[in-house]
Amino acid sequence: MSMALFRDWLLSDAPESRRQAACGRAYRGWLSLRHNPLGMAGLLTIVFLLVVSLGAPLLSTQSPDTQHLTLRLAPPSAAHWLGTDQLGRDLYTRLLYGGRITLGMVVAVVAVVAPLGLVVGAVSGYLGGLADRLMMRVTDIFLSIPQLILALAFVAALTPGITSAIIAIALTAWPPIARLARADALTIRDTDFIAAIRLAGASRTRIILRHVMPLCLPSVIVRITLDMSGIILTAAGLGFLGMGAQPPMPEWGTMIAATRGYILQQWWVPTIPGLAILVASLAFNLLGDGLRDVLDPKQT
Amino acid sequence: MRRLRTLAAGAASVPITLFGLVLITFVIGRIVPIDPVIAIVGDHAPPDVIAHVRAELGLDKPLPVQFLIYVDRLLHGNLGRSVMTTHPVTTDIAHYFPATIELATAAILIALAVGIPLGVFAAARQGSRFDHVVRVLSIGGQSVPVFVLGLIFLLVFYVKLGIAPGTGQQSVIYEGMVPYVTGMHVVDAALSGQWDAFEDGLAHLALPALVLAYYSLGYITRMTRAYMIDALRGEYIVTARAKGLSARRILWRHAFGNIAVGLITVIALAYANLLSGAVLTETVFSWPGLGLYLTVSLLNADMNAVLGATLVVGLVYIGLNLLADLAYRLFDPRVR
């Protein structure tokens, strides 16, 4: 099938199958995202970060833990592109490996939080009644404490480390997603097409899984993309406070905490990982903002 | 009467939320790997002392009973003692919290003074270059880690340019000169008439307040812009324009006047969120507030202090959210 034919198939006004309709919708979304310069900048940055993090062993010539104690805090040079840190480790290499930790944490949190929030929200909104009220009270409670502070208290109880940080961030990140999915489920519940499916004899599970949840997806995707920026900031903040990844792991927040004392003389040592956090978090915010315009124009 | 009832509806969920907050801190306090008894008496205490302290703390009783004891203690305003400072946690919090309020209030005032005009003008010129710049600026505020921005500010304004003082609330020469009245250093200095200490305090407040202000600027600008775009679509704006009113009057009196109520909610939520940002900002600037107290307690595994601070921050957060909700219900006729 030639490209033009494929394009026509995607943009057809009368899709012949569910799959064609879904692909067509995704393609239209892509077309409108492509004309959103900020959103595209975010997307490209994220792809770039993913590539350099995954390719860290290929892109760097050293190990992130090799110490050159005679070369401590060296300024950027041909041998060390971004200089070295307080133990003479290559900053460029550590920055690449740090991306793996940060993006890995984001993926781990989202893998837990997205399905959980979506299911809780969709079930809660569709069923209504007592179950709904109970679940919403639970989300209220989690939403009543600032995310970073709740995460800090959890990590303190669990012993600091990456796993604890992921658990703590996940615990605090699912309620807003559930609230959002519920709000969508509430409006979908009373539509005519759901009534028609119910009349046709579809089970509750089928209605929720096949009909309610897919329609909650757009706003959840937007929210999660924006949340990823928040997850990066919380993870880095935990690392900075000594409650997240522990040294010698090259996590960006931890790297800043370990070298912040050098800000007076070797200012680039703590600043470079700081910029990395900024770039990563900015990229997800820009993409989320762009996706919001594409997927969910009613949100502000 | 009707107004009272809508207010009551808004407050109805608060007791349950409070209960949940207390339950969360209780659970965290119980899953800690540190034995609170050992933390008090030390590793080498004889077994009978350990047993005695354990019974005194009620830790030998079943969990539900322990929870009731915990709630009872909280209701009597007892958050336990901090192992680190040896003071009751309530005393510590009362001592450190005003500095956080001082910082957060300064930050929100700056954020409002900059964020609201930016949002209003961006909405008035929707899609213009100015609008895009404001958009990037506000997304930037939500993306930049406050502790990095804090370090960069210190580097640029303190180290390189030398126009700002370093960390802390005051310079060493004013140490102990200003009597503790409200706990807000700048206010105390003004109250005692020490204007040079007041000026020094303001200078120390500037950098951390600016960092925090940028943190909430994004949210305030974005919400103002969204509300204004909505308001400017109203038919009363067309009428005002047809009457020949000046653009400025339409923008500020007619459109902005109508969104001011919605903004109260935004401001309360932004203020509540500043508490999170304050933890990191205070750590970078050694600002002696609740955030610094919380992080230092965390590093010392001082759980009474950590849970007490978490509880207080949660309370303030719930209070501000309730305030936002009530303001909305009280002033917005469409909700009634």
Q: Which tens digit of pLDDT belongs to each residue from B289-318?
A: 999 999 899 888 888 899 999 899 888 888
B137 and B255 both lie in a single domain: yes
List the 274-333 stretch of B: residues with Cβ below 8 A of A. 275-276, 279-280, 283-284, 294-295, 298-299, 301, 303, 306-307, 309-310, 313-314, 317-318, 321
Residue A21 lies in a domain: no
**Confidence at residue A300, expressed as pLDDT on a 0 to 100 scale:** 46
- Count how many domains chain A has: 1
- Chain B residues inside the 8 Å CB shell of A270: 151
Please, are residues A42 and A49 in contact by the beta-carbon 8 Å criterion? no
Question: Mean of the pLDDT values across residues B148-175?
Answer: 85
Residue B194 lies in a domain: no
Q: Which tokens go with A279?
A: 């770039």
Distance CA B202, CA B177 (A): 16
Closest CA to A282 of A48, A123, A122, A91: A48
Where are the alpha helices (H) located in A35-161, listed in sequence order? 37-54, 56-59, 91-127, 129-143, 147-158
Is A271 in contact with B294 (Cβ distance < 8 A)? no
Indicate if ipTM > 0.90. no
Expressed as residue numbers, the domain containing A275 is: 32-61+79-299
CB-nearest to A157 from B31, B136, B284 is: B31
- Count how many domains chain B has: 2
More confident residue, A99 or B182: A99
List the 124-183 stretch of A: residues with Cβ below 8 A of B. 137-138, 140-142, 144-150, 152-154, 156-159
Lowest-confidence pick of A110-119, B21-30, B109-118: B21-30
Residue A174 lies in a domain: yes
Q: Which neighbouring-strand residues pair with B81?
A: B88
Question: Mean of the pLDDT values across residues B128-148?
Answer: 91
Is A141 in contact with B20 (Cβ distance < 8 A)? yes
B113 and B69 both lie in a single domain: no
More confident residue, A281 or B176: A281
Closest CA to B161 of B199, B197, B198, B206: B206
B29 and B116 both lie in a single domain: no
- Could you tell me the CATH number of the domain that includes residue B231? 1.10.3720.10
**Confidence at residue A196, expressed as pLDDT on a 0 to 100 scale:** 93
Please, are residues A140 and A123 in contact by the beta-carbon 8 Å criterion? no
pTM of the model: 0.89
**Beta carbon pairs, A and B, within 8 Å:** 150
B229 and B145 both lie in a single domain: yes
- Could you tell me the CATH number of the domain that includes residue A267? 1.10.3720.10
Question: Mean of the pLDDT values across residues B197-204?
Answer: 88
Please, are residues B30 and B63 in contact by the beta-carbon 8 Å criterion? yes
Burial of residue B179 (CB within 10 Å: 0-12, 13-18, 19+) is exposed
Residue A71 lies in a domain: no
Question: In chain A, which residues have pLDDT < 50?
Answer: 300
More confident residue, B14 or A203: A203
Question: Mean of the pLDDT values across residues B156-176?
Answer: 83
pLDDT classification of B121: cutoffs 50, 70, 90: very high
Q: Confirm or reject contact between A104 and chain B (CB < 8 A).
A: no
**Confidence at residue A44, expressed as pLDDT on a 0 to 100 scale:** 96
List the 13-52 stretch of A: residues with Cβ below 8 A of B. 38
**Confidence at residue B183, expressed as pLDDT on a 0 to 100 scale:** 81
**Confidence at residue A284, expressed as pLDDT on a 0 to 100 scale:** 95
Task: Read off the pLDDT of residues B240-276 as tens digits, 9 standing for 90 and up.
Answer: 888 888 888 888 888 888 888 788 888 988 898 888 7
**Confidence at residue B111, expressed as pLDDT on a 0 to 100 scale:** 95
pLDDT classification of B173: cutoffs 50, 70, 90: confident
